[in-house]
Amino acid sequence: MYNHSELKEVIDRALINLSYNTEASRLIDPVKYILSMGGKRLRPVLALMACNLFSDKIDNAILPAAGIEVFHNFTLVHDDIMDQATVRRNSPTVHCKWNVNQAILSGDVMAFISNDCFLQAAANDLAKVLRVFNKAAIEVCVGQQLDMDFEKAPVVTQSEYFRMIEMKTAVLIAASAKIGAIIGGADEKDTDLLYEYGKNLGFAFQIQDDLLDIYGDAKTFGKTTGGDIVANKKTFLFVKASELAKEKQLKQLQNLFSIQETDPGAKINAVRDIYDQLSIRAITETLANDYISRAFSMLDKVGTDPKRKTELVNIANSLIGRDQ
């Protein structure tokens, strides 16, 4: 059994050692740049953990797991263009460091570098793995579409919000766990359970991410920015608050989210006041916890020795800031 930090190291090494086999350094430099920015590598680590749940041999899962991370970074490069984001992980985004055309094209090539990584899966598993991956990749595009549509929508319901984060975030995390399980040799029942485990984890992860934007503990999670509020992003907190708000609060909230505030600090404080009045923090924390519990109930049903599940339990707890 491998632990979390061993698996992260395996992935980091695999990403550094990716061979591009091309003379076009202008095309590939942005790929190396975004992949070198680091990060938790949540999706590939989950894929390896899910593989390791069923098999002591994880070799055939390493490149497919890296492929998932390359795909994820491809979506970041293109999303940053669409969102006109200038900074990612304290560095300039690809389209800012180079230009929009370069970011489109270097993003595109990542989609096929990613595809090629899956060919390391055993021939028997390949079609199954790719069916899961392609479905998730298409759904991630649907999720980005819904997210873009939300920007122009005056109202977003809870069910619309959940559909968006399901597509944009949860399905790829779900697919990561399922792909790992397939390569590890799990049967259909268990691969489906891993998918549901990952999906619930994905929901918890996104809701927690929404929460940390304003209530994050700098010590544990890094900087609190209120960036979502400044950008008028329709997060779970906003959607839930809109649902619970009395008439006057709703007007205030909609007004705050429709203007480009000149004083971001004042705007963040005003929104936080409304959230506090409506107990949004506690509601959100409870919901993230619920999703983690649902993830665990899926994991419980998986037919392996419970001891093998420790890493998948720990990573879930760590996502919502629980001590391990």
3-class DSSP assignment, residue 18: coil
C-alpha 22/C-alpha 31 separation (Å) is 13
Q: Token pair for residue 137? A: 């990749």
Between 160 and 192, whose beta carbon lies closer to a copy of itself?
160
CA 60 to chain centre: 23
CB of 318 to a copy of itself, least distance (A): 30
Neighbours of 252 (CB within 10 A): 16
CB of 152 to a copy of itself, least distance (A): 11
Between 155 and 266, whose beta carbon lies closer to a copy of itself?
155
Between 116 and 192, whose beta carbon lies closer to a copy of itself?
116
Q: Residue 232's closest CA among 154, 140, 142?
A: 154
Between 160 and 290, whose beta carbon lies closer to a copy of itself?
160
Between 185 and 264, whose beta carbon lies closer to a copy of itself?
185
Which residues are bridge partners to 91 per DSSP?
Answer: 88
C-alpha 136/C-alpha 146 separation (Å) is 15
Q: Residue 147's closest CA among 169, 164, 134, 166?
A: 164
CB of 136 to a copy of itself, least distance (A): 9
Q: What phi-psi label fits residue 102: left (phi over 0), alpha (psi between -120 and 50 degrees) or beta? A: alpha
Site of interaction with a copy of itself (CB under 8 A)? 21-24, 26-27, 75, 78, 81-82, 100-101, 104-105, 107-109, 111-113, 115-116, 119, 123-124, 126-127, 130-131, 134-135, 137-139, 141-142, 144-146, 148-149
CB of 74 to a copy of itself, least distance (A): 8
CB of 83 to a copy of itself, least distance (A): 9
